[in-house]
Amino acid sequence: MGLAGLAGVAATGAVVARAERKRRQYTPDEIRDRLHQRVAEAADSDDISIAE
């Protein structure tokens, strides 16, 4: 593996770590609200009936 490959691996690791930190900032209530919103949007766009 060359120097460019190592730089790519390091950059990918940094992106994954940043995304994980951002994801962990959400409270369980925020996650639940976001999921409900996404389901409602999907139901509206696809005309799918979703029972709660």
Q: What are phi and psi of 3, to 5 degrees?
A: -65, -40
Q: Which helix (H) or strand (E) holds 30?
A: helix 28-46
What whole-number distance in Å separates Cα of residue 34 and Cα of residue 10? 31
Q: pTM score > 0.75 for this model?
A: no
Q: Express each pLDDT in 1-50 by its tens digit.
A: 677 776 777 778 888 887 887 777 888 898 899 999 999 988 887 655 55
Q: Are 37 and 31 in contact (CB under 8 A)?
A: no
The phi and psi torsions of 50 (rounded to 5 degrees) equal: -120, 120
From CA 44, how far away is CA 7, in angstroms rounded? 43
